[in-house]
Structures are given as structure tokens and as C-alpha cells.
Amino acid sequence: MGIETLERDLVGCRVCPRLVTWREQAGHHKRVAYHDWEYWAKPVPGFGDPRARLLIVGLAPAAHGANRTGRMFTGDRSGDWLFRALHRTGFASQPEAVARGDGLVLAGAFVSAIVRCAPPDNKPIPAEKENCRGWLEAELDLLRDVEVIVPLGGMAYAQVLRILHGRQVSVPKPRPRFAHGLEVDLRPSGPMLIASYHPSQQNTFTGRLTEVMLDEVFERARALLDWP
Ligand code: SF4
């Protein structure tokens, strides 16, 4: 199975009834600013370079962001921060991400999430995270060149560690506590992890996460990968 086949299968997924309802309702009750948009309102596939060496894992699509545009982290404030940082650090062709087909190309990087449907209050419940786990696992199977993973936020960090542990990667016990900039070296059985705060407005508006802090994470990834 290739990435395209995976995407085709993913967009038809309706396993989580609460999230199916929520993602579709958001498409009917549009934000005024987006009244002329045809919302995607389906599971959102990962996006980026199939030969990626850097994998970025977020939490879930935003109801009026990726759930509207159909591309991960595209069309919301979190994505504005993320793609600007990826552009500054050489992984993205442009700083803007507004819609599928806007010309954005990722080089050496792939952006995904632990849950693919927009959840109410941006909070998936444990069963939904578990239901969706297989989609990220399938991407990991296909992204064979990944050497560095950047989970955005504590929930993504915990789920990535859980998944890697299940894939026979030697994960330290106890698991290192989530912190911004935390590095967990799982080599040689797995990748290098660099944890980051999620660029959500809760973090960026409060100054908990600054652009400099986010840049430092991707600069570190670039150094580890010896990325030009
Ligand atoms: Fe399917 Fe994941 Fe969406 Fe649940 S959250 S319906 S498992 S794609």
C-alpha cells in the first residue's frame, strides 16, 4: 500500500461516531469568515514528503482549520506558526498554508496527527485515540526514512511513545516526562524524539511557546539530520 491508497482508505473512515458527527456538523455550521467554503468534513490525511526524515505529529484537525481545508495544520493559527517555523528552518517551501493546492511543498518533512477527525474542544477521548492509532501506524510503515519525530504537545508525545513501544522500540522506563525541548534518543531501535509544546493559541497567546522556542526545535532536528 502506498501513501495515496492509505489516504483514500482513511478519508472513508467512520469508526468514531462522536467525531463523525462533529466534523460534519462543523461543515454545516460554518464560521462566517468561511461561509463560501465547502468544508472537507472528513478524516484529514498526513501531508508532506513521502521520503521524509522528519515526522511532526500533532493532536487532531481543528474544526474550522484542517477540517475545512482537508490538509493537516492548514488554515488555522497553529498551522500558521508551524509552517512559518518549518519555512524558516528549511523544511517548507513557503511560510503560508491556506488551502490544498496553495503551492506549499514540504522537503524532508511530513506532518500528521494522532487523531484525524476534528474533536469537540480539541479533546479526543481515549477510545478515539486508540481507534485512530492504526492510521498513524500505517503511515509509519510507509515513511521508512524517518529519523526524527517531533510530537507537538503532551498527548501526541505519549501516543508516539506508546506506538513506538508496541513496535519493539526500546523506550526508557519510566518514560521521560513531557517537556518542551525534551530529547529522547531511541536509537538504534527507533528514531530520535524532540518534544515540543503544541503551537495552539493557548500556548502562543500566553507566551508559553514563542517562535524562537519552536524554531529551536526544528533547528535541532535539522542539525541531527544534517539537513542542508
Ligand atoms: Fe476514523 Fe480516526 Fe476519524 Fe475515528 S478519528 S473516525 S478512527 S479517522
- pLDDT band at residue 167 using 50, 70 and 90 as cut-offs: very high
Does residue 148 carry a pLDDT above 80? yes
- pLDDT band at residue 185 using 50, 70 and 90 as cut-offs: very high
- Rounded to whole angstroms, the Cα distance separating 114 from 163 reads 10
pTM score, whole prediction: 0.97
State whether the beta carbon of 200 lies less than 6 angstroms from ligand 1: no
Q: Residue 227 has what pLDDT?
A: 85
Nearest CA to ligand 1 atom 1: 13
Give the number of other CB atoms < 10 A from CB of residue 139.
Answer: 22
Does residue 91 carry a pLDDT above 80? yes
Nearest CA to ligand 1 atom 2: 132
Tell me how far the alpha carbon of residue 123 lies from the centroid of ligand 1, in angstroms. 13
CATH code of the domain occupying 3-225 = 3.40.470.10
Average pLDDT over every residue of 138-142: 97
Average pLDDT over every residue of 26-36: 93
Nearest of 161, 201, 162, 199 to residue 180 by alpha carbon: 199
Domain boundaries, the chain: 3-225
Tell me how far the alpha carbon of residue 15 lies from the centroid of ligand 1, in angstroms. 6
Does residue 1 carry a pLDDT above 90? no
Which of 11, 14, 130 gets mutated to test ligand 1 (max ligand atoms within 8 A of its CB)?
14
Q: Residue 112 has what pLDDT?
A: 98
- Rounded to whole angstroms, the Cα distance separating 146 from 137 reads 13
Tell me how far the alpha carbon of residue 129 lies from the centroid of ligand 1, in angstroms. 8
Q: Residue 129 has what pLDDT?
A: 98
Nearest CA to ligand 1 atom 4: 16
Q: Residue 144 has what pLDDT?
A: 96
- pLDDT band at residue 228 using 50, 70 and 90 as cut-offs: confident
